Structure 1
Amino acid sequence: MAEQMTGAEMVIQALVDNGVEHIFGYPGGAALPIYDAMFQQDKVQHILVRHEQGATHMAEGYARSTGKVGVVLVTSGPGATNAVTGLTDALMDSVPLVCITAQVPTTLIGSDAFQECDTVGITRSCTKHNYLVKNVNDLSRVMHEAFHIANSGRPGPVLVDIPKDVQFALGTYLGIDEIGPSRHKSYHPATAGDSKAIEAAVDMMLKAERPIFYTGGGIINSGPEASEKLRELAELTGFPVTSTLMGLGAFPGSNPQWMGMLGMHGTYEANMAMHDCDLMINIGARFDDRITGRIDAFSPGSTRIHVDIDPSSIGKNVRTDLAIVGDSGLVMEEMVRIWRTKTNQPRTEAIAPWWEQIEGWRSKHSLGFKNSTTTIKPQHAIQRLYQATRGREVYITTEVGQHQMWAAQHFPFEMPNRWMTSGGLGTMGYGLPAAVGVQVAHPDALVIDIAGEASVQMTMQEMSTAVQYGLPIKVFILNNERMGMVRQWQDLLHGGRYAHSYSESLPDFVKLAEAYGGKGIRCSDPALLDAAIEEMLDYDGPVLFDCLVEKHENCLPMIPSGKPHNEMILPDFEDDIGAVIDEKGRQLV
C-alpha cells in the first residue's frame, strides 16, 4: 500500500522491495539522512568500505558472482567522483549496479557548494542511465526503475542522485505493485530473438565445414541456464568452443571441445581456429580489440553470426553476416530446438578434418613454459593453487596485468559466475575489493584474489574491511617486483627501457597483513609452495600470500599489437633445467 515516509526511508524501503540484502558504502554529510534510516532497520546489511572505488568493485564482485544487482551508497562530491572508476568498469563489463549518490540540497545545486559536483553530468558517459531526483514523490518510481534498467537487456550501472533536502522531505512511497511493471518509457530491450534469423543460423551451422563457437560474457549475464544451453548446443553440434576473458566458465574447461581462451593471450588452437574458420557463431561477445587484433585480418574467410542483446554492439567493430538481437540463453534454447527438428545429431563426420587440424594446433602446447627448481614460475604457482583448491566451492577474482592472464590460462573453470575480473576497462585494484564483495555474497565459499604486487596496492586498504566483517578472503600475490605487463611491452616495443615499470620500495606484505589484523605468508621456494598454499587455505581469516616469482617471465602466447591471429609469439621450450610442463601440469620432455 502507498504510505507516507521521508525520501531517506523510501530509499531503504525500495532496496528491501527489490530484494537487496547487502549494500556497500561510505557515509558523508549529504548522505546522512539515508544513513540514519539505514541505522534504524535490519533488513539490509551495510558494508563499510575504506574508499568509494572499493565500494563499486565490491558491488561488482557481488553482482557477477550472484547474478543480482550490486548496490553502492556514497556521498556527494568526492564520494561520487571516487566511484566513477568502478561505474565505468561496470559499464564496460556489463555488470548490473545501482549506485545511490547523495547531493547537496536542491537550493544549492549550481552554487559550488561544499562537496558539490555535477554528478549526473560526470557519470552520463559511464552509466547505462542516471537520474537527479528533485521531487520526493518521484523517488520510489525512480528507484524501482533503476533496478529494472540495471538488470535487464545488457546489464550495466545506473546512478540515482538524491539531494539532501529530498532525503528529508515527506512524500508518498509506492511499492513495485502500486507502480505496476517498472518500465522506462523508452527502454524495451528485445530478448527472444527473431525465429527466422535463428533458423537461418542453424541452416548455416548444418553446412559449415570449419565452425567455431565464439562465446562471451553475455552468456554469463544471461544466467546459469544459458551456460547449460551452450553445453547442450556444443554437444548437439560437435563444434569447438572458445571464449573471451569475460566468458570463462560458461563452458567447462575440462570438456574436450574447449579450446581455451581466445585473443591476445589466448591459446594457439583457439586463435588459429578463429583465423581459419568458415563459420563463426558469436554468442554474447562484442568483438573487442583484445579479441580481434588487426580488424582487416580478423578471421578473413569466415561467415559471421552475431547473437547479442545489445543491438548497438552488432556491426560496431566487425561486419556481421547474420545478426540476431536477443538474450543469449533464449536464442540458444531456440537453436537447440530447431537443430533437433532438423537432425538431432552432431556433425561428427563432416567436421572430422577440422578437428584433426585443431588437434594439430593443440600439439604446440602453447600454454607450456619452462619450469624451475630454484625459482617459482608464476604459471606453476597458478597451477599449484588450482590443484590445491579442486573439489571446493571456489571463486576467483583478479587484479589486472600478467597475473590476470596467467590465471585465465592456467586456472580452468567448470561453472559460470566463478571468475570475476576487470576486462574492458582493465582496472588495477579491482580484485581485492571484488573478493570482499564475493565473500559477502558467499560467506562459506573459498574466495581468492589472484593479484600482482603493484595492482593490489591500489585498493589495499580494503583489507581493513575484510578484517572488520570477518571475511576470510585469500589474496594470492604473484610478486615479480615489476608492473609485469608494462615491463613486457617495454621489452617488446621499447627496447627494454623500463620507464617506471618497477617499484624500488615495496611493502613487507607479511607485516602489512598483520598490521591490518590478517595473516601474512611469504614463499620463494618451489619445494615449499604446496605447503604454503595449504597454510593459506587452512587459515580462517583474511590472508596476504606474498609469492615471490620469476621477475622477467613474459606472458605467452601473445598476439603482438597490430598483428593477425596467425602471427602469435609462442613460448620457447628449450630447457637446460629439466622438467618442461604444459598447461595441465604434464611433463612434456
Structure 2
Amino acid sequence: MTRQMTGAKMVVQALRDQGVDTVFGYPGGAVLPIYDEIFQQNDIRHILVRHEQGAVHAAEGYARSTGKPGVALVTSGPGATNAVTGLTDALLDSIPIVVLSGQVPTFMIGTDGFQEADTVGITRPCTKHNWLVKDTNALPGILHQAFHVAKTGRPGPVLIDIPKDVQFASGTYAAPPKGSTYRYNPQVKGDMEEITELVAALETAKRPVFYTGGGVINSGPAASQLLRELVEATGAPITSTLMGLGAYPASGKNWLGMLGMHGLYEANMAMHDCDLMINIGARFDDRITGRIDAFSPNSKKAHIDIDPSSINKVIPVDIPIVGDVAHVLEDILKVWKARGRKTNREALSKWWAKIEEWKKVDCLSYKRSEGTIKPQYAMERLEALTKDRDRYITTEVGQHQMWAAQYLGFEAPNRWMTSGGLGTMGYGFPASIGVQMAHPDALVINVAGEASWLMNMQEMGTAVQFRLPVKQFILNNERLGMVRQWQELLHGERYSHSWSEALPDFVKLAEAFGAKGILCKDPADLDDAIMEMINHDGPVIFDCLVEKHENCFPMIPSGEPHNKMLLGDASTKDAIKEGGAVLV
C-alpha cells in the first residue's frame, strides 16, 4: 500500500512502521519539518536531551537494554558532528542504532551553507552504513533498509542524512517489505563440518574454557539460554568479556568471572592454561588478549562470530565458524547430543581442581577501612542491596567501571550497559536515561566516577524534565582514577593533570537541577544512604566519597601475558603456588 506524503511525514511513518516508540533528539533548523510532524502525533515519544552526544548514548542504552534499535534525531552541522562519538562507540560495541540527521537543502550542498557539514563523509568510518537522501521517493526504502542493516548480522550504527528540501517535498511512501528482500543477508548458519570438529574437540579436551562476549547478548535471549544449556551439559568453565556479562549467570556453578586486563585471577589463569578455547561472540580485543604471542599459548582455538572479518583478524584460530551465535549453539548441542554427549570427565575433574586452587587466591580481596569508604566496599554494598530488584546498571569509564564489573553480579543479559571498545567517558549517564525510558518501572543505576559524570552532566535536565528516576552513583575519589593508577604504576608517580581542584558540590548541583542529592563519606552510613537513594521516586545524584588512591586490581600490565597479573592484597601471597602473579 502506497501513499503520498512529505519526506518529513515519511520519517515519522517509517519509525511507526518499524515499531519505534522513543526517539532521543535535539531540534535545529535542518530538522524542523520532522519536528513539526513529531508534534502532530502521539505514537512516538520524543525525549529532548541537552546535547547530541547524549542523544546517541541514550539511544545506545535503549538498544542495549531492549535488543531493539535505538533512534536519535539531530540537526545538521554541529548536531551531526556532536553525534560522532556516540556513533563510534556503538560501532565498536556492536549496538544497533539509527541516527537521523538534517542537512542543508540539496541545492546548497557544497556551498558552505550555514550549519553545513559533510555528514556522510565524516560518519563513513564510524557507521556500519550511511546514506545521503537526495530524492524524497527514495527516502522510505532507505529508512526501512537502515533498520534492517542496523540490526542484521553484526549489529551497529547507521546514519541517514536528510536535506531539508527532501523533508518538505512530497513523494510516494511504501510500508516495509514483507520477508527478506534486502541484498544484505549475512550468513547465520554455521558450517556443519566445522561445528562437528568443534564438538569432537570438546569431547576429548582436558582443559576447555568458554570465552564469551557481547555477540551472545546481541544474538538474542535464545543465544544466552542455549549457552547456559551447553555449559551445563559439558561441565566446562566459562568466562566473559566486559560486554558479555549476564549472558551466563554470575551465580552459575561454572562461572569464572570476567577475564582480561582487570579480570579475575582464575579466569585469566584458565585462559592461559587451557587446551581448548571456544570464543563465542567476542573479538579478541587487546584488553582481553594482552600480549598476542603469549595468549593461551598451548590451546586449540575455536571462534564463533557472525562477522567474518573478526575471525583470524587478531588471533589465528583452528576452528573458524561464521554464523549467528544462537544458530551455531543450537547446532553444536544437536551434534553433541547425537554423538553421545561425551566429555573427558576425568581430565575435567582435574581441571576444575586446578581452577579451585586459583579461586583460593581471592583476587578481589582488599584491605578494609573503618573511617573511609573503599570503592570495592561501595560496590559490594550496592550489589547486596539491589541484586534482588529489577535492576539495570550503566557505567561511565574508568576504575569505577572495572569495580562494577568485578563486584556486581548479572544473572540475565541486557542488564549491563557500558562502553567497552571506545571507552567513552560520559557514556553512562545518558545511557541510563535511555534504559529508564525503555524500562520505566525498573531500578536504573549509573555507576560513575566524578570526572566521567561531569562530561555529560547537562543531561540531569533531561532526567528531571521527564521525571526519570535514574540514580547516579558517583564513586568520588577526586581523581581521574585510572589515569592516576597508570601514572603511579608506569610513569614514576608523576601525576600529570589527573585530578581537578574545582569539583562541584554534587548535592547542591542535584538540588539546582530540581533533583535529590545525597552525600556519604562514612562506611557506617553507606547502607542507609543507598536505601535512601533506591527509595526516592525521582532522579538522584549520590556523592560517595571514597579512598582517593585506591588501585583497581587484578591488573595485567600492558605487554604482559595472562599469568603475570598484579594483585593488590599481599595476604594472597601464600595462596599462589605457581609464582606467576606479581604482588604489589
Q: Structure 2 length normalisation: TM-score?
A: 0.97
- For residue 337 of structure 1, report the CA deviation from its aligned partner: 1.1
Q: What are the residue-to-residue correspondences of 1:1-400 with 2, within 5 Å?
A: 1-177=1-177, 180-181=178-179, 183-185=181-183, 187-344=184-341, 347-400=344-397
Q: Distance in 2 between matches of 1:200 and 1:322?
A: 7
CA contact (8 A) 2:31 2:75 kept: yes
Amino acid at match of 1:204: A
Q: Distance in 2 between matches of 1:340 and 1:358?
A: 27
CA contact (8 A) 1:429 1:455 kept: yes
Amino acid at match of 2:436: Q
CA contact (8 A) 1:370 1:573 kept: no
Give unmatched runs, 5+ long, in structure 2.
573-584
Q: What are the residue-to-residue correspondences of 1:453-468 with 2, within 5 Å?
A: 453-468=450-465
- For residue 256 of structure 1, report the CA deviation from its aligned partner: 1.8
Q: Distance in 1 between matches of 2:22 and 2:346?
A: 52
CA contact (8 A) 2:202 2:343 kept: no
State the secondary structure of the residue aligned to 1:212.
Answer: strand
CA contact (8 A) 2:205 2:343 kept: no
Q: Distance in 1 between matches of 2:9 and 2:180?
A: 20
Q: Distance in 2 between matches of 1:569 and 1:321?
A: 31
Q: Distance in 1 between matches of 2:462 and 2:345?
A: 53
Cα 1:213–1:574, aligned 2, differ >3 Å: closer, same or farther?
closer
Cα 1:555–1:183, aligned 2, differ >3 Å: closer, same or farther?
farther
CA contact (8 A) 1:251 1:415 kept: yes
Q: Distance in 1 between matches of 2:60 and 2:319?
A: 32
Give unmatched runs, 5+ long, in structure 1.
576-589
Q: Distance in 1 between matches of 2:512 and 2:344?
A: 60
Q: What are the residue-to-residue correspondences of 1:376-455 with 2, within 5 Å?
A: 376-455=373-452
Q: Distance in 2 between matches of 1:17 and 1:46?
A: 16
Amino acid at match of 1:395: Y
- For residue 188 of structure 1, report the CA deviation from its aligned partner: 2.2
State the secondary structure of the residue aligned to 1:349.
Answer: helix
Q: 532, 536, 539: which one pairs with 2:536?
A: 539
Amino acid at match of 2:147: F
State the secondary structure of the residue aligned to 2:531.
Answer: helix
- For residue 183 of structure 1, report the CA deviation from its aligned partner: 4.7
Cα 1:574–1:353, aligned 2, differ >3 Å: closer, same or farther?
closer
Q: How many percent of aligned residue pairs carry the same amino acid?
A: 67
- For residue 329 of structure 1, report the CA deviation from its aligned partner: 1.1
Instruction: Name whichever of 496-505 and 349-358 sits farther off.
Output: 349-358
Q: Distance in 1 between matches of 2:108 and 2:345?
A: 69
- For residue 181 of structure 1, report the CA deviation from its aligned partner: 3.9
- For residue 195 of structure 1, report the CA deviation from its aligned partner: 1.4
Amino acid at match of 2:272: H
State the secondary structure of the residue aligned to 2:433.
Answer: helix
CA contact (8 A) 1:100 1:162 kept: yes
Q: Distance in 1 between matches of 2:462 and 2:343?
A: 51
CA contact (8 A) 1:383 1:410 kept: yes
Aligned length: 572
Cα 1:183–1:158, aligned 2, differ >3 Å: closer, same or farther?
farther
CA contact (8 A) 1:439 1:447 kept: yes
CA contact (8 A) 2:207 2:347 kept: no
CA contact (8 A) 1:400 1:422 kept: yes
Q: Distance in 2 between matches of 1:173 and 1:63?
A: 26
Amino acid at match of 2:430: P
Instruction: Name whichever of 341-350 and 224-233 sits farther off.
Output: 341-350
State the secondary structure of the residue aligned to 2:278.
Answer: strand
Q: Distance in 1 between matches of 2:365 and 2:69?
A: 39
Q: Distance in 2 between matches of 1:559 and 1:344?
A: 37
Amino acid at match of 1:133: V
Amino acid at match of 2:171: G
Amino acid at match of 2:142: V
